[in-house]
Structure 1
């Protein structure tokens, strides 16, 4: 993985100058140096040999010399630190991940190492471990780095952490870290990358968490509105066992609005559901949409479809004629249903302000499914031409039964229509 290549090279260049210069009696350190810091002959001699072998890329001999220096008893703190530094240099260049991680641990724990160098060492640990496919070590090193670095952490390290969790098949933690990264981007007013969002979808797919996968697709559709994302969203909603029958009609409307409703039978089903809900004018509008886009009015079903539209037109006329009386009765009804239905019919008849006001009365009467009622109110605002108001209403719908997802998709459809890009 090339994610750390430049950082790791820079770190090794600055942290291990001893690799490219001769060792007389002391070794250049990344860290705090003191006046009495010296290497004894017993320690300095094998370290000199280690450096010579490392320059010749004789890693086995170099590590053996480091081991010899490390085996000297009674070493000073300076000598112990210098041995660990050389061990890290040899291990890093020879891709001996366990040895490098162990040496870095010594250096990171030492008070001699400045904070900035410790962070670079943690990044180097994570880089080596990831390249060696030691994902458990990658997670440990990366989490230590992120904790130490705090808000100033390199965002690429979070990506490494996500990938390390994913490679271990720890999809829950991979999703958690990826979501944290995405949430931070959004909070900062930045758009998360498409790759981040796609990766989050992949995590939830592995977890078989359909609800969270849908939420992730909503973000993809919001920031990268493409037909494939909309199709996936609608498929997920249609396959969601939690989606109540009361929302199936809304899903059909969403499919019609996004061009994914292509079956005449689905259009007929949608229109019939509208009439069953007491909204024949909405049935007329939806059937007209089917005729205008060429889904209806063709083939053997054309006569049946025309008959259904004529029936809907007739019922819509009767409903419109009775609106005044129905509105008066709905205003005094103890339940929410009459006000919600009649108010919507008034909006469809062109009486938008009065119809929405009546629907608000219905919302105040504690409907049985308040989230569905609020979604319908947003739909009425949209059908009444008040798209900005509808978008605000859709953003207030909260539920885990599918109504929130549908509301978010309608808001997205208003603010970011589906594009044709792939």
Structure 2
């Protein structure tokens, strides 16, 4: 319950009447209860009510102690005192006094179902507001255990866990919420994914962080998110340099080429790996972006472009011989890069067939790299579902699975 909500309820619902009751006592009228209040108690409670209206909460708590000092209090008078104490204590940010009042009302049987949840919410919210996080978490959990479902209380739980350093609980709960959202056909909120990543970063939980980033890419793709994902993949422990070219491909696909060096490095790396057409496309894209062909290095850029044009021509001229040599009956290793090169040249379906033939022959040096290449060729062929299936089959711990996961997200976005 928000600050002052309980106060307003108590002031509005339990207004003191100036009339006298059947035994000469002041009447305390309420939609929730009708209680007889003696004048010596009633004068204090009238003052408390005025203080609550004036937001003088600590003064109200002190005045309630004066009411408590009156001897021979009835059960009804005690109930009214505790109800007002709850309101004053919430306003004062005194969670412990709220608990005292709540427990007294509970013991007296004066707390109903809906009212019970309101009180629990008010107590948890008050503890959270004054940064008593362990107590806030205890009472918020009690609120949910007793049937509450307030989104505000969920926020209290999360904040309390975060402030107390319980990152494991946040990760567990947030992952469960993400899966529940997806099961219900909803996209998890960006804030929820950000919370997961923040908690995972503090807990040094790379798996949870990767999940959050993957979901961000899936539901809220953007240049910056892709840049972070690509950079994070390369920084993972055990990442092999053999997949740097694949990261360049992802940078290119996501619009994250960072300048002259990226276009030059991507082009040369692709050509060296046997992908001349890809290298030429990188150079041409650099020219189209106005990054290459300009300034003092323009001549260098032209030499690179001319070199790539020659490599492409040579690759086309020698393709038939290369294909014949690649069809070695002993293994399919040579067919994998040849098929991907063919796919990049424009014959994507033909490239897919060559890679599939290579995988079928077996005795591969790196089966994960072969599946990664197959997925990329299928992506170029527009076979998105098949590409996703191929990427999912990559399980390597050398960075291949991480790269494949990013390609899979890209492929799913193109379906």
Q: Which bin holds the TM-score, normalised by the shorter protein?
A: 0.7 to 0.9
Q: Is the 8 A contact 2:193 2:216 kept in 1?
A: yes
Q: How does 1:207-222 map to 2 (within 5 A)?
A: 207-209=203-205, 212-222=208-218
Larger RCO (CA under 8 A, 6+ residues apart): 1
CA shift for structure 1 position 381 = 0.9
Counterpart pick for 1:125 among 123, 126, 137: 123
The 5 Å alignment of 1:143-154 reads 143-149=141-147, 153-154=149-150
Structure 2 residue runs of 5 or longer lacking an equivalent are 18-24, 52-58
1:55 deviation in Å?
Answer: 0.7
Aligned to 1:59: 60
Question: 2:14: which partner in 1?
Answer: 19
Which of 385, 391, 397 is the matching residue for 2:382? 385
**What does residue 225 of structure 1 align with?**
221
Distance 2:230 2:87 in 1: 54
**In structure 2, C-alpha distance between the alignment counterparts of 1:401 and 1:102, rounded to whole Å:** 58
Q: CA deviation at 1:188?
A: 1.9
Q: Is the 8 A contact 1:136 1:164 kept in 2?
A: yes
Cα gap change, 1:368/1:56 in structure 2, threshold over 3 Å: closer, same or farther?
Answer: farther
The answer (yes or no) to whether the contact 2:394–2:400 under 8 Å persists in 1 is yes
- Whether the 8 Å contact between 1:356 and 1:377 is mirrored in structure 2 is yes
Could you tell me how far apart the structure 2 residues matched to 1:51 and 1:367 are?
86
- Cα 1:28–1:361 change in 2 (3 A) is farther
Once residues 370 and 16 of structure 1 are traced to their aligned partners in structure 2, the CA distance between those partners, rounded to angstroms, is 73
Q: SS in structure 1 opposite 2:185?
A: coil
Structure 1 vs Structure 2 CA RMSD: 3.8
- Tell whether 2:313 aligns with 1:295: no
SS of the aligned residue for 2:146 comes to: helix
Aligned positions of 1:70-85 closer than 5 A = 84-85=82-83
CA distance in 1, matches of 2:368, 2:154: 36
**SS of equivalent residue, structure 2 residue 216:** helix
* Secondary structure, aligned partner of 1:56: helix
Matches within 5 A, 1:297-316: 297-298=293-294, 299=297, 300-316=299-315
Structure 1 residues 89 and 392: CA distance shift in structure 2, 3 A: same
Asked if the contact 2:171–2:208 (Cα under 8 Å) also holds between the matched residues in 1, the reply is: no
1:29 and 1:82 in contact (8 A); partners too = no
Partners of 1:390 and 1:351 in 2: how far apart? 16
Counterparts of 1:405 and 1:351 in 2: how far apart (Å)?
27
Name the CA shift for 1:333/1:250 in 2 (closer, same or farther; >3 Å).
same
Q: CA distance change for structure 1 residues 237 and 110 in 2, over 3 Å: closer, same or farther? A: farther
Structure 1: tracts of 5 or more residues without a match: 418-422
Aligned mates of 1:368, 1:50 — CA distance in 2 = 87
Counterpart of 1:355 in structure 2 is: 351
Q: In 1, are the aligned partners of 2:16 and 2:46 still within 8 Å (CA)?
A: no
The aligned residue for residue 200 of structure 2 is 204
- Normalising by structure 1, what TM-score? 0.76
Partner in structure 2 of residue 94 of structure 1: 92
2:251 aligns to what SS in structure 1? helix
| Structure-2 separation of matches of 1:144 and 1:366 | 60
User: Does the residue aligned with 1:5 lie in a helix, a strand or coil?
Assistant: coil
Q: Could you report, residue by residue, the CA deviation over 1:119-155 in whole angstroms, capped at 9, with x for unpaired residues?
A: 2222111111122222222111122223333xx6122
Provide the aligned length of Structure 1 versus Structure 2.
Answer: 396
2:242 corresponding residue in structure 1:
246
Please say if residues 296 and 305 of structure 1, whose CA atoms lie closer than 8 Å, have aligned partners that are also in contact: no
On the 8 A contact 2:280/2:305 being kept in 1, the answer is: no
Note the alpha carbon deviations across 1:316-368, whole angstroms, 9 max, x for none: 22552225414532xx334x533422332343455544532442354464755
The answer as to whether partners of 2:127 and 2:133 remain within 8 angstroms in 1 is: yes
Structure 1 291/54 Cα, relative in aligned 2: closer, same or farther at 3 Å?
same
Would you say the 8 A contact 1:158–1:177 is kept in 2? no
Deviation at 1:84, TM superposition (A): 4.2
Query: Which residue is equivalent to 1:333?
Result: 330
Q: Does 1:161 align with 2:157?
A: yes
Contact kept? 2:79, 2:105, Cα under 8 Å: yes
Rounded to whole Å, the distance in 2 between the matches of 1:109 and 1:416 is 58
Match of 1:116 in 2: 114
Contact 1:320 1:345 in 2 (8 A): no
Q: Distance in 2 between matches of 1:199 and 1:64?
A: 44
Contact 1:49 1:62 in 2 (8 A): no
